[in-house]
Amino acid sequence: MYTASMSTSERLIEATRELLWERGYVGTSPKAIQQQAGAGQGSMYHHFSGKPDLALAAIRRTADDMRAAAETVLGGPGTAHERIAAYLLRERDVLRGCPVGRLTMDPDVVAGDALRAPVDETLAWLRGRLAAVVDEGRESGELSAALVPSEVAATIVATVQGGYVLARASGSTAPFDAGVRGLLALLAPPSAQRS
């Protein structure tokens, strides 16, 4: 997880990212962060003003990574449907859930504007990016002209985030996979639906 060349601040951010994904904000103590990062209390407070400042840096890093991973497939080659399929089918740790989406269930994150902002911005960016891909598909005639891009984008994000919840509840990736297959069938180009 950590390399010898990582600075103390980098180790602290990476440890916080991992702990936030595992435990959430409330369950992530400064002591746990320091232990996981192999850093002392003085080092932590030298680089960050406190847990909220460190958590914000970790959340922003996680959000940036999520955007980059999504953009790799959504901005890649292929038709609109192929790019949406690539996004939905890309490798994920489904049973762990979304490291950004899970933060919406944390009362301390959603209660504060600073910690909630990168979560909200990332999910809004994702909906906007997906809507643009859907619109490309409509314009090219590949996807139904009746589709409302912003609504389809919200449906895609809801399917993924809800799929994580269903998978975690059942202890199986099957509900996530079924939701993805169903959504892809609904979004299939009109010519493929007639076959």
Global pTM value: 0.90
Q: Which of 18, 59, 24 is nearest to 38 (CA)?
A: 18
| Containing structural domain, residue 102 | 62-194
186 is a domain residue: yes
Q: Is 47 left (phi over 0), alpha (psi -120 to 50) or beta?
A: alpha
For residue 34, being part of any structural domain is answered with no
Q: Is residue 168 part of a domain?
A: yes
CATH number for the domain including 95? Answer: 1.10.357.10
* Number of alpha helices (DSSP H) and beta strands (DSSP E) in the chain: 10, 0
For residue 192, name the pLDDT band (cuts at 50, 70, 90): low
* DSSP tag of 172: S
Q: Tell me how many domains the chain contains.
A: 1
For the stretch 10-62, pLDDT in tens is: 999 999 999 999 999 999 999 999 999 998 888 888 889 989 999 999 999 99
Residues 107-136 have pLDDT tens digits of 999 998 999 999 999 999 999 999 999 999
The answer to whether residue 136 is domain-embedded is yes
Mean model confidence pLDDT for the chain: 92
Is 138 inside any structural domain?
yes
Confidence label for 144 from pLDDT (cuts 50, 70 and 90): very high
Residue 162 included in any domain: yes
> Is 167 in a helix, a strand, or coil?
helix
Q: Residue 97 falls within a domain, yes or no?
A: yes
